[in-house]
Amino acid sequence: MAILVTRPDERGKQLTDLLNQAGRVALHLPLFTFESGKELESLPGKLNRLKSGSYVFLVSKSAVDFSVKTLKEIGFHWREDLQYFTVGQRTAQHFSCQSERPIHYPIEQENSEALLALPQMQQLNGKQVLILRGNSGREYFIEQAEKRGATVEIVECYRREPIIYNSDEQSSIKRSGVDTLVVTSLEILHALIEFLPENEQDWLKNCKLVTVSSRIADVAKSQGWQTVILSPKADNQSLLKTLLS
């Protein structure tokens, strides 16, 4: 039986390759591409205006890639007097390599709740927080940071553009013997449901669904999935281990 990897861009392709190398049949079906966000040009100015000691939160590797590219093009360097945060270790390492700046992230779990539990997040009165993200995202961290007294600003560094497939490509998934789905975000989950016609929904929800957060798992169960498996972390090695076990 086959595994359908919906993770977009190079990371999805890499996970598909790793599965194939491990002897599992895997197909890559990204449902989005990433384009430059409409607020990307405002990023250097917004970074410049932050008070010393302010927090910058990069929500994903895509946020890192698009913001790093924009700043490099104008010779702008990441300020040393700001504190940088990500949700996951891989995004942290990716940013650290590109920016040569130390970065904070939660160790145990890769989610907003764990980020908010970090010592630096406990006293946010008067703190400026700049969030670099896509054209949509979870609002929980923003709401909680504001409740704790922070001033939060968002920069849309990239946007997700849906990839349009034809009906043959849609129905070929079932014919390929797919019985396991890899879904790494809520946006992908919703796009996957919309991707297949009504008469394929029962088949879709009978597939095993492997995901990376309890929030996505809960939504999947509420949408009718019976078997939902949680990977301990969102990086490809953790996903690979979960899929092979």
**Run means of pLDDT, 10 residues per run, the chain, 245 residues:** 90 94 93 90 93 95 92 90 91 90 89 91 94 87 94 94 80 82 92 86 93 91 95 90 93
pLDDT of residue 150: 96
DSSP 107: S
**Cα(7)–Cα(22) distance, integer angstroms:** 18
- Which residues, at least 6 apart from 237, have a Cβ–Cβ distance to it below 8 Å? none
DSSP 104: B
Q: Establish whether domains 2-31+163-244 and 35-160 are of one fold.
A: yes
pLDDT of residue 63: 93
Q: Which of 113, 146, 142 is nearest to 127 (CA)?
A: 146
pLDDT of residue 126: 93
CATH of 2-31+163-244, one of 3.40.605.10, 3.40.30.10, 3.40.50.150, 3.40.50.10090: 3.40.50.10090
**Cα(44)–Cα(85) distance, integer angstroms:** 18
pLDDT of residue 58: 94
pLDDT of residue 175: 77
pLDDT of residue 179: 93
CATH 3.40.50.300 at 35-160, yes or no? no
pLDDT of residue 197: 83
pLDDT of residue 177: 87
